[in-house]
């Protein structure tokens, strides 16, 4: 960026309705700050887009000046792909429109919207679509990588509910992709990440959910974890699709329903969300009581929007984070032994291992229906290292890598692309399996020069 003439920047500012920021200017540091504080990069220029015209101009400018291009939606990606060093960062956070069609059961969502903002609009009509578990996550990045959460066992992945999108491609064109127009492009962005362009509008199918759900937490002492997880794994196929149960191993937070002497002790937490009739919630979730004798429970009816924010305090921005992930079809004893060993060696009190439950509707979609293809995964495991002090970088990342290696023999070999860290580009093929070659073909058509490469990159054939 040093050699980029100031006159070029001034010309860019004149062509943009939003803001163009450079180092030292007000708002620059805030715009480049993302969820994972371990990522600290300084783009040469940040374009905070106010609309589609700004996106097109920013893409054109980056291409014309041969600048590395990064695209920020919510800025929640663990690898920090939203922000680059020295290039141009497209910041979509000002684009926050959400339009709900309660009759047609559709949501039209701009790329700067977070899950909490989406839920605020959709739940006004008692509607939702499968998204994640943290209200500050961006809808855009989560969806483009596949997307899953509490509703996925009933309604599928986020991409299974993405019916159309507006996309600014590498040549600056705006393409409306749907089943009858550019279906290959729609197929590719349903899991293929940001490799194919900048999505400026998502169209989602909506479902009747809430406004009340039945859910909460069921907490066991860690010594019960191996037996409880075996029972949990054995019960998954009999669970109704309306019920989602995630398992988390960590040190107990100071939750008011837990005995004080359990605070800071290792525990197994089952997080439950039942989206069927609330009056049937207690009966539907009783299965968890067969898993063990709890040291604390907090279960009952609650607003869906409140449940979506339950884990926000444990996932707040500003901490340093590092993830390693595998997909599993079952939880065998060797995996549980490795997990127990890892929890006994937690490097900080914020670290955890979770098993996000899939199955249900996510496994009933053909592998080639979307770019996301891990339809045999019943659990997405994430080992989450989280800490504050940069001096802890090495021991926290090494702890995560050690459990990742110990659990690998029991994994499917595939991986959820949104959980890949910045050094894991070699695993991109594993994320897409048999769909990878088709993704390369779509990439070669829409981005032959690999303009959109600051991501878990799918290289065009020319590369």
Inter-CA distances, 204 with 26, 108, 127, Å: 36, 7, 11
Quick: pLDDT tens for 371-380.
999 999 999 9
* Alpha-carbon 318 to chain mean position: 17
Question: In 3-state terms, what secondary structure has residue 198?
Answer: strand
Q: How far apart are CA 366 and CA 19, in angstroms?
A: 43
| Residue among 428, 368, 433 at smallest CA distance from 195 | 428
Quick: pLDDT tens for 260-288.
999 999 999 999 999 999 999 999 999 99
DSSP H stretches of helix in 286-416: 304-307, 333-343, 393-407
DSSP one-letter code for 253: P
pTM as predicted: 0.95
Residue pair 68/87 in contact by the 8 Å Cβ criterion: yes
Angle at the Cα of 238 from the Cα atoms of 233 and 240, rounded to 5 degrees: 115
Q: Is the pLDDT of residue 25 over 50?
A: yes
- Residue 3 pLDDT: 61
Interior/surface letters 1-35, b for 16+ CB within 10 angstroms, e for the rest: beebeeeebeebeebbebbbbbeeeeebeebbebb
Kindly report the average pLDDT of the chain as a whole number.
97
Question: In 3-state terms, what secondary structure has residue 451?
Answer: coil
Average the pLDDT over 246-261 and give the result.
96
Q: How far apart are CA 323 and CA 407, in angstroms?
A: 14
Structure tokens at 304: 């869906």
Q: Burial, 303: exposed, middle or buried (Cβ in 10 Å; 0-12, 13-18, 19+)?
A: middle
DSSP one-letter code for 178: B
Structure tokens at 414: 């595939």
Hey, what domains does the chain have and what are their CATH numbers?
A: 6-91 (3.30.43.10), 98-209+435-446 (3.30.465.10), 212-419 (3.40.462.20)
Angle at the Cα of 263 from the Cα atoms of 261 and 266, rounded to 5 degrees: 105
Peptide bond into 97 cis (omega under 30): no
Average the pLDDT over 231-240 and give the result.
96
Q: How confident is the model at residue 4 (pLDDT cuts 50, 70, 90)?
A: confident
DSSP H stretches of helix in 355-425: 393-407
Residue pair 294/258 in contact by the 8 Å Cβ criterion: no
């Amino acid at each position: 960026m040093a050699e980029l003439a100031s006159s070029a920047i001034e010309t860019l500012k004149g062509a943009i309705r939003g803001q163009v920021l450079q180092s030292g200017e007000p708002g620059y540091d805030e715009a480049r700050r993302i969820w994972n504080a371990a990522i600290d990069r300084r783009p040469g220029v940040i374009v905070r887009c106010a609309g589609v015209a700004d996106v097109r101009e920013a893409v054109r400018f980056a291409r014309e000046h041969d600048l590395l291009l990064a695209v920020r939606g919510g800025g929640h990606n663990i690898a920090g792909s939203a922000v680059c060093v020295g290039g141009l960062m497209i910041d979509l956070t000002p684009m926050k429109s959400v339009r709900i069609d309660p009759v047609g059961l559709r949501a039209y969502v701009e790329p700067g919207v977070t899950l909490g903002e989406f839920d605020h609009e959709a739940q006004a009509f008692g509607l939702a679509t499968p998204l994640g578990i943290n209200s500050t996550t961006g809808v855009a990045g989560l969806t483009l990588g596949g997307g899953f959460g509490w509703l996925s066992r009933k309604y599928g992945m986020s991409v299974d509910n993405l019916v159309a999108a507006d996309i600014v491609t590498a040549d600056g064109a705006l393409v409306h992709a749907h089943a009858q127009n550019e279906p290959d492009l729609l197929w590719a962005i349903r899991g293929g990440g940001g490799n194919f362009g900048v999505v400026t509008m998502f169209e989602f199918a909506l479902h009747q959910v809430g406004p009340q759900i039945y859910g909460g937490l069921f907490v066991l002492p860690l010594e019960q974890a191996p037996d409880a997880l075996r029972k949990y794994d054995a019960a998954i196929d009999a669970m109704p699709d309306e019920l989602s149960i995630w398992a988390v191993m960590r040190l107990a937070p100071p939750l008011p329903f837990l005995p004080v002497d359990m605070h800071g002790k290792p525990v197994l937490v089952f997080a439950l969300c039942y989206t069927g009739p609330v009056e049937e919630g207690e009966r539907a979730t009783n299965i968890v009581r067969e898993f063990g004798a709890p040291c604390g429970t907090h279960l009952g009816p609650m607003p869906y929007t409140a449940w979506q924010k339950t884990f926000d305090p444990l996932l707040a921005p500003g901490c340093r984070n590092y993830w390693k992930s595998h997909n599993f079809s079952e939880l065998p004893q060797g995996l549980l032994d490795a997990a127990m060993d890892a929890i006994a060696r937690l490097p900080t009190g914020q670290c955890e291992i979770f098993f996000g439950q899939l199955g249900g509707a996510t496994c009933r979609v053909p592998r080639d229906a979307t770019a996301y293809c891990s339809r045999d995964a019943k659990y997405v495991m994430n080992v989450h290292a989280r800490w504050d002090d940069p001096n802890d970088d090495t021991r926290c990342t090494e702890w995560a890598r050690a459990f990742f290696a110990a659990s690998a023999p029991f994994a499917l070999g595939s991986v959820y692309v949104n959980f890949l860290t910045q050094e894991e580009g070699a695993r991109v093929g594993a994320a897409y399996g048999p769909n990878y070659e088709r993704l390369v073909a779509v990439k070669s058509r829409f981005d032959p020069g690999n303009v959109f490469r600051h991501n878990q990159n799918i290289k065009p054939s020319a590369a």
